[in-house]
Structure 1
Amino acid sequence: MQTHISLLLVDDSSIKEINRVRRNKDYSTDVLSFPLSFDLEPWDLPPKKKIQNSPLLSLGEIVISWDTCKAQAKSIGHSEEDEFFRLFVHGFLHLIGYDHERGEEDEALMKEKEDLCLDLVLGP
């Protein structure tokens, strides 16, 4: 299956404005996700099979504050690249139906999937 994701890298003031306008939350954050569709069940990761000749599926939009990404990388003690991928994976998982805000079980599942994806991207 071919997928499309829109990615915006913005500063703190821009992500605050996007958060205010689109989510009615008047504060900046590190990453926002805006899925174009929502399934009741998150996608399986890793995918169980490849789908050939499928149409392009647009998943939605991920917005990352580069200001916050750099600050968090410094605070956590890893590279800006690692922090960018951590935020991107977090946003991607939201686009495909994972949500840590639904409760402890969903939070643990999302953390597990984040670790799986980051191991694939950055190595164990």
Structure 2
Amino acid sequence: MLTIDIIDEQDHKLTDQQLQLLHTCLQAAAEAEAVSGEVVVTLVDNQRMRELNLQYRGIDRPTDVLSFAMNETGEGELEIRMDEEALDDLPNMLGDIVISVPQALAQAEEYGHSLERELGFLAVHGFLHLLGYDHQTAAEEAEMFSRQEQILQSVGLTR
């Protein structure tokens, strides 16, 4: 089971149906990947997304989605050792997904599909990044985008 918290920090509030769609897409992704845990989705405007993109990626422009995985261990990070019983009591915090709703609106129009399709795509894309999927190489991109399409099709979000 996936626990999903959605925080809407922007002016273009999504409908209850659109928010439910985000839940549905993320639950489908979690089931497809056989993972459980917690995810926080934050909906922001382009200005906030630009700030985050600059702060975390050094790119001074808004982007559509950012993911911040909590279960990654990179070089130089502090490793905290706990006994297995204590770890079992902690929730599996997968991470945070940040989506720019204005960017999603613009991309939906550009690609000629619904806002719902774009939001679903961005949510699943961000979720897969939390699990370690990437698209730096052609092979990685093919794997990640194929997985995204399978998940989106399973919830009825086709192009």
| Matches of 2:90 and 2:143, distance apart in 1 | 29
CA RMSD of aligned residues (A): 2.1
Q: Write out aligned runs for 1:2-41 (5 A).
A: 2-38=36-72
| Matches of 1:54 and 1:96, distance apart in 2 | 21
Larger radius of gyration: 2
* TM-score normalized with structure 1 length: 0.81
Q: What's the CA shift for 1:2?
A: 3.4
Does residue 1:83 correspond to 2:118, yes or no? yes
| Matches of 1:76 and 1:84, distance apart in 2 | 13
| Matches of 1:94 and 1:10, distance apart in 2 | 19
Q: What's the CA shift for 1:61?
A: 0.5
Amino acid of the structure 2 residue aligned with 1:27: R
Change (3 A) 1:80 1:108: same
Gap regions ≥5 residues in structure 2:
1-34, 74-87
Gap regions ≥5 residues in structure 1:
40-52
* TM-score normalized with structure 2 length: 0.64
The answer to whether the Cα contact below 8 Å between 1:15 and 1:29 also exists between their aligned partners in 2 is: yes
| Matches of 1:13 and 1:2, distance apart in 2 | 32
Change (3 A) 1:119 1:20: same
